[in-house]
Chains A and B, each alone.
Chain A
Amino acid sequence: MTQLENELQALKVELISMWNLVESQLKKSRNALVNFDRDLAREVVLKERRVNAFELKLDRDCEDIFALYCPVAIDLRFLLAVLKINTNLERIGDYAEGISKYIIETESNFNQSVLHASNMVTMFDDAIKILADTRLAFENENTTLARSIFKRDEALDIINTNAMRNVSECIREDISVLSDSLYVLSIIRKLERVGDQSKNIAEEIIFYIEAKVLKHDEQVQSKK
């Protein structure tokens, strides 16, 4: 194995451990939400620093590899993909932190009927699953799995649209759930963003493996 291959392999391992961290952040914020566990939420907020440190480290490593090895072809695409995936993951980490902050801020647990109406827990689980599958697609260089992400992101979008309607109905029935509802809608918006970021990551994976640019190409994505 050449030195460049070693470096790229190490970079991949590094990115995957960042990925695992972000996933666990997301899972923890989900559990904190479901069990209204403020301590767990605080832990997520604290650990966000580690995600940020990962991002900086990966950026630095990519810079070094670009400078020292002048990668070309698949190596170059891999590095470009890693750079962008890195940014996307960090953003997902931010969402997990944001959700946890909401949990810390609210005085009592969220109104269960609103939670139920918004279908949020299902959405949360889906988002986590999507992120995990995107990671698997990256680890195993599986473009079929990566392509399946596009469809599943749309499912999240639908939940998002429906939640809007359902939650507003809840509010109409009982105005006291208003502030809870606003929190829930914000969280849903963030989860929807997690889906979008995963989709971007899936695009990067396909770009690096197949050298195809799917970004902003709705037709191709909906066909798959």
Chain B
Amino acid sequence: MESTIVKSIDYNAYFGDNHVVKNVNIEITRNTVTAVMGPSGCGKTTFLRGINRMHELIPGATAKGKIMLNGEDVMEMHPIFVRLKIGMVFQRPNPFPNLSIYDNVIAGYKLNGIKLPKAEKDKIVELSLSRVALWNEVKDSLTKKGSFLSGGQQQRLCIARAVAMEPEVLLFDEPTSALDPISTSTVEELFHELKKNYTLIIVTHNMQQAARVSDKTAFFYVGELVEFDDTKQMFTNPTDIRTQNYITGRFS
């Protein structure tokens, strides 16, 4: 069942007078992994943060255009609702250092003041941690602080925290750039599992990662969406010469 879940229409983002994302039109299919790649400063992270309205938290940042989530424009919705439906995982693992592993997973409920019965909380914690393949590693130390885990485990904890809110879309902003190679491949394996239940959009500097994990790839260059196609197509026969130059490393 193929269907569009996120669709941007003439999306533009600015930092003050600096036009960083220019007229991006993209359609993202449900239950796929979309990789967004491009050189530094090409606006890919800004675009990603625009999808769940995190962009505008930065002073001086503004955006124009539409981003449709299931046909509803997120620019018209309250950011808090948007962020409940579109989860985000960041570059550096950032579990809440004052909370236990258990509380970190249900942080979205606990810190938002949503009261749940204990049994339901237990269920959410176990399900979320299982989905990120962390349950077996931490089930005996749920009361320990999140910062006791290794970097890769912390990042999976952060993914579990986003997953616990049952969002429709998960955004990843260079999720493995602070991790070692082994943790990186664990997280990459996770993407294949996660896409069964969620739609994933991943910003990455690492072309190989984009190639390995994604179904579709978008290539951004100086704020423009240059090419958006199946990953296989993109890496064997890109249409745009700029994409070809970028993925072959002939970029000046």
A interface residues with partner B (beta carbon < 8 Å): 2-4, 63-64, 67-70
Contacts and interface: CB of A to CB of B under 8 A. Distances in A.
A2 B236 contact: no
A64 B234 CA distance: 10
18 contacts: A2-B185, A3-B188, A3-B189, A3-B192, A3-B213, A4-B212, A63-B236, A64-B236, A67-B232, A67-B235, A68-B211, A68-B231, A68-B235, A69-B208, A69-B211, A69-B212, A70-B208, A70-B211
Would you call the interface of chain A mostly helix, strand, loop, or mixed? helix
Contact of B211 (A2, A63, A67): A67
Interface string B161-201: 00000000000000000000000010011001000000000
Contacts of B189: 2-3
Contacts of A63: 236
Nearest to B192: A3
The residue among B185, B189, B231, B235 with the most chain A CB atoms within 10 A of its own CB is B235
Contacts of B208: 69-70
Given A3-B188, A67-B232, 15 more contacts: A2-B185, A2-B189, A4-B212, A63-B236, A64-B232, A64-B235, A64-B236, A67-B211, A67-B235, A67-B236, A68-B211, A68-B231, A68-B232, A68-B235, A70-B211
Would you call the interface of chain B mostly helix, strand, loop, or mixed? helix
The residue among A2, A4, A64, A68 with the most chain B CB atoms within 10 A of its own CB is A68
B195 to A, nearest CB: 12
Nearest to A64: B232
A195 B208 CA distance: 40
Nearest to A69: B212
Contacts of A64: 232, 235-236
Interface in B115-148: none
Contacts of B212: 3-4, 68-69
Nearest to A68: B211
Contacts of A3: 188-189, 192, 212-213
Q: Which 7 A-B pairs have the closest CB atoms?
A: A67-B235, A68-B211, A67-B236, A64-B232, A63-B236, A68-B235, A70-B208
A70 B206 CA distance: 13
Nearest to B231: A68
A4 B189 CA distance: 10
A108 to B, nearest CB: 51
Contacts of A4: 212
A32 to B, nearest CB: 40
Contacts of A2: 185, 189
A69 B212 CA distance: 6
Contacts of A67: 211, 232, 235-236
B181 to A, nearest CB: 12
Contacts of B236: 63-64, 67
A123 B12 CA distance: 72
A63 B212 CA distance: 14
Interface in B194-238: 208, 211-213, 231-232, 235-236
